[in-house]
Amino acid sequence: MPDLGALFDPKGIIITGVSNHPGKFGFVTLHNLLASGYEGAVYPVSREPGEVLGLRVLGSIDDVPDGAADMLFICTPPAINEELLRQAAAKGVTAAFCAAGGYREAGAEGVEMEQRLVALCDELGIKLAGPNGQGVVSTPSSMCAQIVAPFAPAGKIAIASQSGNFVSSFLNLSNHTGVGVSRAVAAGNASVLGIADYVEYFTDDRETAVSLVYIESVDDGREMFERMAPLAARKPIVVVKGGASAAGARAAASHTGALASDDAVFDGMCRQAGLIRATDVEEAFEAAATFATQPLPDGDRVVVVTTVGGWGVAAVDAMADTRLDPAALPDDLMAAIDEKLPPRWSKNNPIDMAGGETRDTVPEILQLVAEHHDVDAVVLLGVGIQSNTASMMRNGPFFPDHGLERIVGFHERQDTRYAEAAVEISTATGTPIVVASELANAGPDNPAPATLNALGRLCHASAGRAVRSLHHLAGYSAWRQARGL
């Protein structure tokens, strides 16, 4: 396995091609690295020495102290990079991220340049990421070494993508939801390090709980299967795939060949290898965010807890397309809930509290449901409604008089509690509790989504999306159990 420590947790970084122009990649990378709070040594290098962003720009890599940097970030054109790599290797560099383009993607001459780059890195013992990639992010090292934004909060999701743009998309979603990232890397042309190499590293990485990968082309599907399956047995891997491959089109003499669409075969490979396949970027991120922050369910039985009828129905409807089972409530659980709620509660799954909740009801019912041995997972809906009411009062003409200040404070404290209870109870019971509210998007400052965000847990934007994430957790759990893992 390649040791990618110098790529993800370098002690010092040399950046080539750092100019004074804030629109150039070298400048942006230096800016992002400093802005993200990277604490290792940073050595900007340029043909034109001077000062950029308060740092002295060195005229040559030869001026970098021996052994002070182990990573080289390349923003210079192919023609001079071989020389730079030799100089960097002499200084102790063992990993390089080549952001520069002009390689394989640029035609025949570029192909040859890339072959030479690969051969040289091999000779020098340098692990090469890219070329033609947007960069690498590592929150444990406060490192945003990217030619574009953004950085992301610290967390347990590790991202590897064949599209740099989707690295940014995942990081944007991380910032929006508060569910953090450990590592992120754009594979670029992936001339040496590919998706499987990164996932291999993530699987061994203590900072990572789940890998999240975007795949566009599969050169050798059999090799991918053979490498990924043992990794999936150790840590979940969420996959989203774009594009269909032309290589799959062979004139089929058989019915089986005619039925073997790329998608059907890739899907089967994922099911066999234990890869969690999501249909799009949002679903992939949300699945990864749920894997990263929730315990795995032991089975498919889901109970919905809601303060509002409609979303409860929507959640159960959404389960029809999944492996999840909106199981009937066990008698003893019914009886226990009867003690807590007025008689008008739904008395089945979904548990619709029908406005019967008082100060402690929601946390108490969550606890009863989550700790029950016949319940594998919980969906909590209807959070944020009290604070939504409070918000209109707070911003209306009568606040803070007429008792409004007091009730506004109560409502907001309650939603904060519900969010906290979902986190605490799922952690304590080992039963996942996924939470959904459209306020995750429509009112992110509402205390319910805002508290989940601050605690690094996902507030799904709809019941259907929460169900979808849970489906992926349950599917992975079943895959493991069927294989005695």
Partner 1 sequence: MSITLSEAESRRVVSGYGVPVSPFVTGTSTAEVLAAVETDASVTFPVVAKLCGRAIAHKTERGLVRLRIADTDALAAACDELLGKAVPEDGEVEVLVSTMVDGNRELIAGLNDDPQFGMTVMVGIGGILAEAIRDVSFRLAPITEVDAAEMLDDLATQRLFGEFRGEPEADRAAIVEALVALARVGAEEPGLRSADLNPLILIDGKPIAVDALLEIEEDDDA
**Residue 164, token pair as written in the block:** 């740099």
Residue type, 384: G
Contact letters for partner 1, residues 271-290 (x by CB under 8 A): xx------------------
Q: Which stretch binds partner 1 (CB under 8 A): 138-146, 215-223, 275-283, 460-468?
A: 215-223
Taking the least distance from each CB to partner 1, the nearer of 5 and 248 is 248
Q: By CB under 8 A, is residue 220 in contact with partner 1?
A: yes
Asked if 45 contacts 91 with a C-beta cutoff of 8 angstroms, the reply is no
Asked if 125 contacts 94 with a C-beta cutoff of 8 angstroms, the reply is yes
Q: Which stretch binds partner 1 (CB under 8 A): 89-97, 203-211, 252-260, 401-409?
A: 252-260
Taking the least distance from each CB to partner 1, the nearer of 108 and 251 is 251
- Please state the closest distance from residue 468 (CB atom) to partner 1, in A: 17
Q: By CB under 8 A, is residue 150 in contact with partner 1?
A: no
Q: Which stretch binds partner 1 (CB under 8 A): 204-212, 221-229, 352-360, 394-402?
A: 221-229
Taking the least distance from each CB to partner 1, the nearer of 254 and 395 is 254
Residue from 23, 54, 66, 250 in contact with partner 1 (CB under 8 A): 250
Q: Of 382, 393, 397, 388, which is closest to residue 445 (Cα–Cα)?
A: 388
262-273 helix and 221-232 helix, angle to the nearest 10 degrees: 30
Residue from 90, 119, 244, 247 in contact with partner 1 (CB under 8 A): 247
Residue from 252, 328, 335, 442 in contact with partner 1 (CB under 8 A): 252
Q: By CB under 8 A, is residue 258 in contact with partner 1?
A: yes
- What are the angstrom distances between the C-alpha of 231 and each of 92, 204, 226, 438? 31, 9, 9, 35
Residues near 208 by beta carbon (within 8 Å), at least 6 away in sequence: 156, 157, 158, 182, 183, 202, 235
Instruction: Say how many residues touch partner 1, by CB under 8 A.
Output: 32
Q: How many residues can be counted in the chain?
A: 485
Whole-number Å distance between alpha carbons of 196 and 202: 10
Q: By CB under 8 A, is residue 245 in contact with partner 1?
A: yes
Q: By CB under 8 A, is residue 320 in contact with partner 1?
A: no
Asked if 220 contacts 245 with a C-beta cutoff of 8 angstroms, the reply is no
Whole-number Å distance between alpha carbons of 463 and 315: 5
Q: Which stretch binds partner 1 (CB under 8 A): 189-197, 256-264, 367-375, 465-473?
A: 256-264
Residue from 265, 393, 407, 455 in contact with partner 1 (CB under 8 A): 265
Q: What does DSSP assign to residue 124?
A: H
Whole-number Å distance between alpha carbons of 329 and 26: 60
List contacts with partner 1 (CB under 8 A). Answer: 218-222, 225, 245, 247-248, 250, 252-262, 264-269, 271-272, 479, 482-483
